[in-house]
Structure 1
Amino acid sequence: MTSTEEITRTVDAVVWDIGNVLIEWQPERHYDAVIGEERRRAMFDAIDLHGMNDRIDKGEPFRDTIYAVAAEHPEWERDIRRWHDEWIAMASPPITWSIELLRALRSKGIPCFALSNFGTGSFAYAETQYPFLTEFDLRFVSGQLGTIKPEARIYEIVEEESGVRPEHLLFTDDRAENVEAAAARGWQTHRFDGPAGWAERLVAEGLLTAAEAAER
């Protein structure tokens, strides 16, 4: 291949993260509103709650894992349980423009896959609150798969089960390490920092027109 030759990298499927791409995921914000920033900071400094959530995302039981951690910390027990009991308040609101973009792509017959670090129980609950989660062509949920982004295996599973070559997948995620892991496998990637930039990328790829990608 000469230096003047160009490789056209078409997009055969669009792969979506969920948290902070389609649904806001802000536990700290919720706790600040409920128990105050000072107490929240103290609790998060004392207990690795995001590490607890990673365990759920890897497949541990949703309620049981949270309640077990809460029982280990009596001084914080009630507030740790909020991670389960008030979970939908942490995983909200939906990012409406992103959902519109998802539906616009699917209306044109462009396959869309979910690839998300999400617990099995919490995802089942989220489906009851956010019907659009059922609209993907394929869904790759870490808790169901036993592997989590940015581990290589979860990206391999997407490739194997979808049958789409890595270079023909376009993936968006808000976390740099997840995007970098996909790019290392040859995926096309977009670091999500808001639906406006994502809309522009979908237009640039020729997947949507500007009118189709516009916020409603």
Structure 2
Amino acid sequence: MDTAGSSTTASMAIAAHYDRLFETHHMSATGVEWPSDAIHHAVFDGLLRDVRLHRALSVLDVGCGYGALIGYLESRGCAPRRYLGVEVSRLALAAAQDRWPANCRFLLGDFSREDFEVEADFDLAVCAGALVHFVDPDGLHIATMIDKMLQASPCVVFNVISDADADAGYADPPVSGEPYVLGIPQLERVLDRLSGKWPTLQWHTHCAQTWPRSTDVFVRLTR
């Protein structure tokens, strides 16, 4: 199986999917496939629940959409000192570049690609929703994404959809037609694999039902 080729194809499909959404819904929660601003903010609450936020924070935002995390942090009185957003949707990224101040930078591209590089000195790496898409059956894509975030920051937070909702019909037909729920045992196998490279890696998880029909697993990693 050509894992790299299938990952690239999936990434292109995901980018096209989000471009279509943004064309229809523009700069809004639904434009980046969240049902509402309230749910989008609830996900940020879950991701950052155990993270100490402060005004001097430097943030890497993987799958940043139009940069909603910046507005969320500003609402908490913690506008980031430095911010880099990475996004596959060119339309969402263009909107983000127009909206946010000059200290907020944005890059268009697939963060999981080996040749996609970012600087490695962020206080925090955030991935809100970008790991819910099915790309490969063995978790290599998720492991690569998490590993690259750990290279960029000693603290990484992300969410996945729990397999507690596997019977609720969660799938992503516009992209791959495959389920994008992830069981805790599968997630732990991915993290165990990464602990070989990061021997001091620690992780903490908690679950919350943020969407009406899904349970999110929120993960915080420290190395």
TM superposition score normalised by structure 1: 0.36
- Decide which structure has the larger Cα Rg and report it: 1
- Higher relative contact order (Cα pairs below 8 Å, separated by 6+ residues): 1
Higher helix proportion, which one? 1
Which structure has the highest strand share of the two? Answer: 2
